[in-house]
Structure 1
């Protein structure tokens, strides 16, 4: 008997997910800004100076041979320092051996936690305007991101809208405080309302607190994990990218109940293996040696930068929403040419050489919201921010 080998034609092509994946508008504007040699206020790269103790700690770690894999949950010294930090700043007791994980950035922490705790088809509430990577991470796992709009202008939370968005498939909510892109700092009263809802419906709360030290005026940072009954259901995520100006190092952390940490650490190991070893040592030096004065000074410096950019945007006729935290400003783009926020951002870049991000990138697709907004980042070196403000000043003349 003769057998004929017939080719199996499965067909080359992208995955079912890939056609719905597009380049981040933030990355796209950064690339266009680089192409023309503009001033990039689009991406939150935070290119201010790295604290000397952090930089020297990483270099010393390299010279001392700390260049191999660490434990999947990070080096012990850093985990202990993180546990000490959350105890001091939040009053939270966390076991550094069972409840703290060093992650490949807060983004890696969220990815691993979502894989460990969510299933395809689950629904997760996010507050709009939201950080696009949170949404994209959920969609990559076929989890449904449900946008709950904050109130226009004030960005106040509507607890009735939160309740109305909950269905039998709701599994969790994501709270980003202070927030990217609005700089919203959720108040204690708002978080207590969310805690009540999370407890009533037995929801996880993923809390991204990467901007926790960028707080201005009378605003106060409150971690949901601090509230009564929230410790076991809160997945607290933060990191060092912003505070130490090391966004490229990819060192973050996650604090969670020991019941969840084993699975979260497993998926983080699977995806990232570990955060870069010498950078973990540098961040540990920073946590151990930089005290409260460092964080207070950093916030004051960024508050000055905020004032500089707010004034420039106002003078340019682009009414800014003054943020209470983080280092972004959403500003009106009504006076710029273009039908969409993306077109307006590109028009601004072409005219002034200043890159921003379309506000629509932070709202649900098809909602029509954010088309009259642009986001600007002010975590820049003074000379670069001053140049951007000078260029924006040409719009008002």
Structure 2
């Protein structure tokens, strides 16, 4: 029987799909694997997880914790998160009604956008931005509006933020400490941002995944603790980076009771719940690990940062030294190539070290040129011996 023309026309991609391509981060990871290189492209954080965290997860599997949990997460973990938020972030939340354990910070972001924003809304992001944030917005037909920060220190201009707000603006995404720049917003900057959010009645979605990765005496501040911000701020974090378990996909968020039922509903719809035994592992980490573990994370990664930045300087690839997170943006105009993608692949060809084109984290200027084409992003959350080898290879290149 012949197929009708109408039926054939129904077999097509969605309106969103044709404009989506593989993440440049993942593309470089694949290219790196093909040459058995050293992957400084993806934030995999391949240092060893704390023993207590892994053992508790394994024990939970053997104890039968292998079925769905309550949608919001297991009680002991939600209570541990609330205690951590109180002691570290100075944020008071009710673990029963204001904490949601999620399938990674990406799951938290997806559920939040689904619950709070509508198609056609605008959401402001600061540049350099994390590409997954922009893609999550677009997946819900929300328009990302880019507000550039000023290099090399990525300073925040409140008036530039004000100028970007329109009647369609509903929210701001704040990533501090930031991937990819390592920018840590100061209390003065956060106060100015909070005043604007209150003035224009905006949500602020904060991605604080790298909150323990701060250097040179810098302090991390949570926006939700500022006056007037608790109800309008959704605070997102997780365990992937702190406990070096990126493959576990385990995050969480804290929000007002007013928003939590809808956010929890959409997380349940897409993910059902975060992995049950892994929740037990994270809970054990929150309960068992001393304060020295967290200060040690910062000290260890500051040392790794300095190893990589010194190598980049030696190679003539001037780094923007990050105050937080575990990435470095470096100038790469002297590497042969017409754009960041070509330069990243040339560096991989010459050294076996993978980085990501800065264009993955920037928008275009008025002439249509991407503002990140002359940058590469490097991740330094690697085991010492591997990072040392990558640094040696980078330091020895000359272009």
Provide TM-score, normalisation by structure 1. Answer: 0.98
Give the deviation of 1:5 after TM superposition.
9.8
Give the deviation of 1:211 after TM superposition.
0.1
Residue 32 of structure 1 corresponds to which residue in structure 2? 31
Q: How does 1:225-240 map to 2 (within 5 A)?
A: 225-240=224-239
Residue 137 of structure 1 corresponds to which residue in structure 2? 136
1:367-388 Cα deviation digits (max 9, x unpaired): 4201110000000001110110
Residue 65 of structure 1 corresponds to which residue in structure 2? 64
Output the CA distance in 2 between the equivalents of 1:54 and 1:367. 45
Output the CA distance in 2 between the equivalents of 1:202 and 1:367. 33
Give the deviation of 1:334 after TM superposition.
1.1
Residue 294 of structure 1 corresponds to which residue in structure 2? 293
The answer to whether 1:114 aligns with 2:113 is yes
Q: How does 1:81-100 map to 2 (within 5 A)?
A: 81-100=80-99
1:210-246 Cα deviation digits (max 9, x unpaired): 0000000121100100101100000000000000000
User: Aligned residue pairs: how many?
Assistant: 394
Output the CA distance in 2 between the equivalents of 1:290 and 1:122. 42
Contact 1:109 1:237 (C-alpha < 8 Å) held by counterparts: yes
Residue 306 of structure 1 corresponds to which residue in structure 2? 305
Give the deviation of 1:154 after TM superposition.
1.7
- SS of residue paired to 2:253: strand
2:372 aligned to 361, 367, 370, which one? 370
Output the CA distance in 2 between the equivalents of 1:218 and 1:204. 30
**Structure 2 regions of 5+ residues with no counterpart?**
none
Give the deviation of 1:134 after TM superposition.
0.2
Output the CA distance in 2 between the equivalents of 1:58 and 1:251. 12
Residue 256 of structure 1 corresponds to which residue in structure 2? 255
Residue 387 of structure 2 corresponds to which residue in structure 1? 385
CA-based RMSD: 1.2
- SS of residue paired to 1:312: helix
Provide TM-score, normalisation by structure 2. Answer: 0.97
Residue 161 of structure 1 corresponds to which residue in structure 2? 160
Give the deviation of 1:7 after TM superposition.
6.9
Give the deviation of 1:6 after TM superposition.
6.0
**Structure 1 regions of 5+ residues with no counterpart?**
none
Residue 339 of structure 2 corresponds to which residue in structure 1? 340
Output the CA distance in 2 between the equivalents of 1:272 and 1:73. 11
Output the CA distance in 2 between the equivalents of 1:310 and 1:174. 28
Change (3 A) 1:7 1:348: closer
1:39-83 Cα deviation digits (max 9, x unpaired): 000000000001000000000000000000001110000000000
Output the CA distance in 2 between the equivalents of 1:62 and 1:320. 44
1:59-117 Cα deviation digits (max 9, x unpaired): 00000000000011100000000000001112211111100000000110000000000
Output the CA distance in 1 between the equivalents of 2:257 and 2:279. 22
Change (3 A) 1:350 1:260: same
Output the CA distance in 2 between the equivalents of 1:11 and 1:92. 50
Output the CA distance in 1 between the equivalents of 2:122 and 2:351. 41
